């Protein structure tokens, strides 16, 4: 594959990554405004057209009235109020469809023009399949809130969130690969050590994403709205009241929030130390820039998390905190990539 084709494919993947970030933001707003159960049908093709007249709106509203959420929570909702929650869920689904289109048609074009090298095709097809799985998981999640309890399963919500991050990781990392020259890995033991630490931090940030999904899913951010202690406790005494004990890690507000806080404390100590270790090496200007960006985004993300907690998760701060998680992940991915190419001229940052 020539350099021009590599750059074209990389830029296309970066556009798709930005769209995944966008749908994550809208998804956060959809969840926080309790809009996710407003559309009770899954129509991947015809669903792209919203209700266009009063009759269609009334039909859509009647379908919502048959759901547990309307009957148990929103039974006094007017049609105009329903249109407000419908908007966010509709936009969320619309962006998902647009991502599929923006990914599929350029892929077919690059494939038809033979611009994709053989080893790249399976990776791109894998990302496309992940996108299809994400759409199915989204509907699987919504269905869980359309029967009996008018809340989606926090397990399915966390799986939906995790898939979004996996798709972002796959596209962003592949784009970075395409924008970088191919060189052998370094044999410097100090750099290998930083690479291992960077990978460990990726695992920790991934843990924060998953634990954050459970916090959001059971609305644990609405409780224990104090910091640094949780209503005067390091770990509240009700942290293990559910039997069997292991269910507390998923269903107990106290323990779920504690686990998320614990990850944040680890990042607060580990990330500045890691930044210092990268800065001391001074082997790549881009690696130092990525390290600076990672440190800055982590500080801002922790500040957003504390602010959202103290204010009982207002929509704006909650959405910003969810979006910040992907920004942190993106910065750390870039840093990890640069640590594997310490002396390479990259096309991503010049």
- pLDDT grade, residue 344 (50/70/90)? very low
**Torsion over CA: 121, 124, 126, 128 (sign):** negative
Q: How far apart are CA 299 and CA 328, in angstroms?
A: 10
Q: How far apart are CA 85 and CA 313, in angstroms?
A: 18
What are the structure tokens assigned to 124, written together? 């791109």
Q: How far apart are CA 308 and CA 331, in angstroms?
A: 22
pLDDT of 280-331, one tens digit each? 876 678 889 999 999 999 999 999 999 999 999 999 999 999 999 999 999 9
pLDDT of 192-242, one tens digit each? 899 999 999 999 999 999 999 999 999 999 999 999 999 999 999 999 999
Q: What radius of gyration, in Å, describes the C-alpha atoms of the chain?
A: 22
pLDDT of 121-173, one tens digit each? 999 999 999 999 999 999 999 999 998 888 899 999 999 999 999 999 999 99
């Amino acid at each position: 594959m020539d350099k021009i084709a590599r750059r074209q494919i990389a830029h296309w993947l970066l556009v798709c990554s930005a769209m995944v970030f966008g749908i994550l933001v809208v998804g956060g707003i959809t969840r926080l405004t309790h809009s996710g159960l407003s559309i009770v049908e899954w129509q991947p093709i015809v669903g792209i057209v919203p209700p266009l007249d009063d009759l269609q709106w009334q039909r859509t509203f009647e379908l919502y009235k048959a759901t547990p959420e309307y009957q148990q929570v929103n039974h006094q909702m007017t049609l105009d109020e329903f249109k407000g929650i419908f908007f966010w869920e509709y936009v969320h689904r619309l962006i998902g469809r647009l991502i599929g289109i923006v990914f599929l048609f350029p892929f077919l074009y690059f494939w038809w023009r033979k611009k994709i090298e053989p080893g790249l095709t399976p990776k791109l097809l894998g990302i496309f399949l992940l996108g299809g799985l994400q759409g199915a998981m989204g509907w699987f999640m919504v269905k869980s809130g359309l029967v009996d309890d008018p809340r989606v399963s926090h397990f399915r919500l966390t799986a939906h969130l995790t898939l979004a991050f996996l798709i972002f990781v796959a596209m962003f990392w592949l784009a970075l690969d395409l924008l970088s020259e191919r060189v052998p890995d370094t044999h410097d033991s100090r750099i290998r050590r930083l690479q291992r630490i960077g990978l460990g931090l990726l695992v920790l940030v991934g843990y924060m994403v998953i634990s954050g999904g459970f916090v959001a899913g059971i609305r644990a951010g609405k409780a224990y709205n104090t910091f640094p202690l949780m209503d005067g406790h390091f770990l509240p005494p009700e942290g293990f009241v559910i039997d069997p004990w292991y269910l507390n890690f998923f269903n107990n507000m106290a323990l779920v929030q504690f686990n998320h806080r614990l990850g944040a404390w680890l990042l607060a100590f580990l990330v500045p130390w890691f930044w210092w270790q990268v800065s001391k090496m001074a082997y790549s200007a881009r690696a130092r820039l990525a390290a600076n960006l990672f440190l800055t985004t982590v500080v801002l993300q922790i500040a957003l998390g504390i602010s959202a907690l103290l204010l009982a998760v207002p929509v704006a701060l909650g959405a910003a905190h969810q979006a910040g998680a992907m920004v942190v992940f993106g910065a750390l991915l870039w840093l990890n990539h640069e640590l594997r190419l310490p002396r390479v001229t990259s096309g991503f940052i010049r």
